[in-house]
Amino acid sequence: MKKILLILSVLAASALLPLRAQELPFAGGEDLKYTIHYKYGVNADLASLTVKGVEEGANYHVTAHINTFRFWDSFYKMRDRYESTFAMNRDLKPRTALRDVKEGKYWAKCNFTWGDDSRQVRAVIDKSSRPHRDTVLKENGTIRDVFNMIYYCRTADLAKLEKGERIHGIVAMDRTIYKVTIRHAGREKKKVNGKTWNTVKLGISLSVTGADQGETNTAVSVGDTADDLKGGDKLVFWISDDENRLPVFFAAHLKIGSVQGRLTEVDGNKYPLTALID
């Protein structure tokens, strides 16, 4: 679901978060599984999200799949694949990215390629609803794909942010640039899939800028109100308050219904899960 990945992408809003000089919070072999829950008319688990990372020399390669559960395939079948490759250093410099989605009768494929300058990226795009396009996106700061930005966020030292502090970042999807603002909303215990985590809560808002604001998939279909959303935030994320910085839960109120994502399985985590308290 394009909306779901947009929600995931704003976790990457922390491009200016203070970073730690220590080792990365993830390593090859990390395997995360999520369940996507949707509320509108029905109230049900809709799809699974699996995220796996492997080390390839000096780079890290992430592969993610979003699949509707078999029961929902006859209503709206979704088979989305995302890949991201980036340097395993402090800046996680982006190398390549792929978005390959099949959702109902809609399909789209986008390849990102970066050169030495991470402030611009070549985007080669094919869609069922649009002609082939080959373009270069440019910004004033590093442009990151969805999953590169998610992992970049995990390198942040959230302890150095004060509650209510806001910072900004950049993320690209197809031919659109998103400017994102992230707000430190405090710490809290969060019940996720029957387990309790110590978490850092992040409130997020975003706006569209750059190329093709009329793209079908780039409309920000996020509503103005939700139980957990305050002060103009469009989305809320809960991050494990330990060395792993795992996204354990997210929530958003859409124009039609609402969506949640919860972490259900963790394997290959680099550090002990000290944020998991029961």
Give, in order, the Cα–Cα distances in Å from 258 to each of 114, 197, 253, 262, 264. Answer: 34, 23, 4, 14, 19
Q: Say how far apart CA 152 and CA 166 lie, in whole Å.
A: 17
Q: pLDDT by residue (tens digit) across 89-131?
A: 888 999 999 999 999 999 999 999 999 999 999 999 999 989 9
Give the domain extent around 43.
2-267
Which residues is 226 bridged to in the sheet? 229
**Domain-embedded: residue 123:** yes
Q: pLDDT by residue (tens digit) across 211-257?
A: 554 453 433 333 333 344 444 557 888 999 999 999 999 998 777 78
**Domain-embedded: residue 233:** yes
Q: How many CB atoms within 10 Å of residue 237?
A: 26
Q: pLDDT by residue (tens digit) across 171-199?
A: 898 988 988 777 888 899 999 999 999 99
Mean pLDDT of all residues belonging to the chain: 83
**Domain-embedded: residue 273:** no
**Domain-embedded: residue 276:** no
User: What's phi and psi for 158, nearest 5 deg?
Assistant: -65, -20
Which pTM was predicted? 0.83
Per the structure, how many domains does the chain have? 1
**Domain-embedded: residue 274:** no
**Domain-embedded: residue 275:** no
Q: Say how far apart CA 25 and CA 13 lie, in whole Å.
A: 18
Q: Say how far apart CA 2 and CA 11 lie, in whole Å.
A: 15
Q: Say how far apart CA 18 and CA 49 lie, in whole Å.
A: 28
